[in-house]
Amino acid sequence: MNLSLIGTGYVGLVTGACFAEVGHKVICVDRDAEKVKLLQSGGMPIYEPGLEELVKKNVAAGRLKFTDSTREGVENSEVVFIAVPTPPLPDGSVDLSFIEGVAREIAAAMTSYKIIVDKSTVPVKTGDKVAETIKRYCKSQVDFDVASNPEFLREGFAVEDLMHPDRVVVGVRTERPVKALKEIYEPFGAPIIVTDINSAELIKHAANSFLALKISYINAVSVICEATGANVQEVAAGMGMDARIGRRFLDASLGFGGSCFPKDLSAFIKISEQLGYDFGLLREVQRINTDQMERFVKKIVETLWVLKDKTIGVLGLAFKQNTDDVRMSPAIELCLRLQKEGAALRVHDPKAMDKARALLKDVVYVDDMNAVAEGCDALVIATEWPEFKKLDLERARKALSHPIMFDGRNLFDVKEMKRLGFIYKSIGRG
């Protein structure tokens, strides 16, 4: 099929590349002309495992192209996917100005029947607003359908998630677009769930909020583990073997971050509030997440006492492994908190240092993870990159002025770290 993706961020670019990979002809549209030029020249605006190879392969095959013209995308497509940002507003609600703007552009470019699919994460009832906007601004008065197709991609595993999805959710206002939408996803071999459009929009916010709840739950349990000498990893393993619970998202840490969980949680709380329901459970999830960072900073301060004029090494800046995304990253927040306390920082991340420079100033960026500890009073693990498990611990111990490590991701074994001579502080492990 002929498809277009309006927006080439994480969702739009990965989705477009994967659609092309299974044989569809795809036009990816972005208003940022410089980003389009970068993609056309073979460059990549983001790091995502496997994505660069997929893009180059399908561009060469003629199935994937890039443009800054919405009209070009709409005119040459049967189905138009909206994948633009939906950033949070100060009150926690969602800024839908990009959605509204794209809907108007699509309307202005339409000259024949189109299926417009909202792939961005949006509040329930947005589909109705998109349909109303398109009808209002479409001068040719052609027929169209609006649908919802929320994405469930994990940054760092997005290509894998899209090529092998757990499920595909399609929300529609009428039955007319269902056949085409099923045809798009048929090559992926996943169950396709067809719902009304309001249910599809709610599924995404409900799913992400529940996953955030799981993370906050195990972080709350980690506090009890520390108070009793229990091991949160053993508790999580025992819980996770229950098929009703599952082991995923039960890793105690600094807390969740990134561009999805915090935003979607706030949005769902606000949506509920606007509908007359106080979703207090989710506000508690937010509080636990905030408290987790507070406890970790307190652990560092209590151990080092005064942070002013001390140098701390930090491993990890991305909000999670396998991505260069630093938006709402707990690692960045931690660095800023340590700077506020007066500490100097030496930092390293395998992929995110370039993007971190815009948010984190007056730090020393170190290319080699094994050199970060040199001249430092302590070392902090802030992101769960698998590379960090291969850290030369003997070198780090000798390089530190005091062999102190704060592990915000529980990467190392407590007994082994103590055997090596470290003062080792982790999360929820006695």
State which H helix or E strand residue 294 sits in: helix 280-304
Q: How many CB atoms lie within 10 A of CB 389?
A: 11
In our burial notation (b when 16+ CB lie closer than 10 A, e otherwise), range 293-320 reads beebbebbeeebeebeebbbbbbbbbbb
Q: What are phi and psi of 403, to 5 degrees?
A: -75, 70
Active site residue 260: yes
Task: Estimate the share of the chain in helix, then strand, then coil, as percent rounded to the nearest 5.
Answer: 45, 15, 40
Q: Residues 359, 332: contact at Cβ < 8 Å?
A: yes
Q: How many CB atoms lie within 10 A of CB 14?
A: 27
Q: Distance between CA 78 and CA 198 in Å, rounded?
A: 23
- Predicted local distance difference test score (pLDDT) of residue 141: 86
Residue showing tokens 């931690």: 334
- Predicted local distance difference test score (pLDDT) of residue 34: 95
Question: What strands lie across the sheet with 144-148, from one edge to the other?
Answer: 64-67, 25-29, 2-6, 79-82, 114-118, 144-148, 168-172, 192-196
Largest pairwise CA distance in the chain: 75
Spot the catalytic one: 28, 138, 260, 376: 260
- Predicted local distance difference test score (pLDDT) of residue 140: 87
Amino acid at residue number 195: T
Q: How many CB atoms lie within 10 A of CB 273?
A: 15
Q: Is 360 helix (H, G, I), strand (E, B) or coil?
A: coil
Sign of the C-alpha dihedral computed for residues 30, 34, 37 and 42 taken in this order: negative
- Residue 149: which residues within 8 A CB-CB, separation 6 or more? 81, 117, 118, 119, 168, 169, 170, 171, 181, 200
What pTM was computed for the model? 0.92
- Predicted local distance difference test score (pLDDT) of residue 175: 96
Enumerate residue ranges in the chain where pLDDT < 50: none
Report how far Cα 315 is from the mean position of its chain's Cα atoms: 19
- The first and second tokens of residue 275, run together, are 């509908």
- The first and second tokens of residue 326, run together, are 């630093």
Which residues partner with 364 through β-bridges?
Answer: 346
State which H helix or E strand residue 3 sits in: strand 2-6
State which H helix or E strand residue 274 sits in: helix 261-274
Residue 20: which of 39, 35, 33, 37 has the closest Cα? Answer: 39
Q: Residues 327, 333: contact at Cβ < 8 Å?
A: no
Q: Is 77 helix (H, G, I), strand (E, B) or coil?
A: coil
Cα angle, residue 279 at apex, residues 274 and 283 outer, rounded to 5°: 110
Cα angle, residue 296 at apex, residues 290 and 300 outer, rounded to 5°: 145
- The first and second tokens of residue 118, run together, are 């909202």
- Residue 366: which residues within 8 A CB-CB, separation 6 or more? 313, 346, 347, 348, 372
Q: What is the pLDDT of residues 250-278, one digit of tens each?
A: 999 999 999 889 999 999 999 999 999 99
- Predicted local distance difference test score (pLDDT) of residue 301: 96
Q: What is the pLDDT of residues 296-335, one digit of tens each?
A: 999 999 999 999 999 999 999 999 999 999 999 999 999 9
Q: Residues 37, 219: contact at Cβ < 8 Å?
A: no
- Predicted local distance difference test score (pLDDT) of residue 259: 87
